[in-house]
Amino acid sequence: MNEKSKEKMLEQKKSIVDGLQNHFPNIPLFQDEIAEDEEQLFKDSKYHLSILIMGDFSTTDSAVRLSQTLSIEYYSEERDDVDETLLDIISIVDAVPAVNFRRSRKVRMKVANTDRFVDVVTIEFERFVKYGC
């Protein structure tokens, strides 16, 4: 059931991952979350990473189509090119068929027990998935 849609979903995810890894070979890309031991590497140096998060499904106006949110969380410490990097991330992901940019949110967070700050940007996208056919 839904085999064509599942195949397309996997292709989209692969396109996103490949696009980001090829364009940003020096920015580690994690999926869904970063493990504590992996995060420790960034606590000991500087944060510069991204996380791909596949989000929730919701209904649409179509009886055969769902909407799924997905986001990229981009962490950047002591870099002046955050906005320029975001523009490239948005361009790469938005170029994947049936994936659309929705918005971004930027916050500045303090690293616990330090005087360091990290820019954390969540870039939200939406994709549409056929189902039940």
Parallel, antiparallel, or unpaired: how do β-strands 29-31 and 48-59 relate?
A: parallel
CATH number of 3-130: 3.30.70.1700
C-alpha dihedral (58, 59, 61, 67), degrees to nearest 10: 40
Mean predicted confidence (pLDDT) in 118-131: 95
Q: Where are the domains of the chain?
A: 3-130
Q: Quick one: pLDDT at residue 43?
A: 64
Strand partners, 121: 74, 106
pLDDT above 90 coverage of the chain, percent: 69
Lowest mean pLDDT among 1-10, 44-53, 98-107: 44-53
State yes or no: pLDDT of 15 exceeds 90. yes
Q: CB-based burial of residue 110 (10 Å sphere; 0-12 exposed, 13-18 middle, 19+ buried)?
A: exposed
Q: How confident is the model at residue 86 (pLDDT cuts 50, 70, 90)?
A: very high
State yes or no: pLDDT of 126 exceeds 90. yes
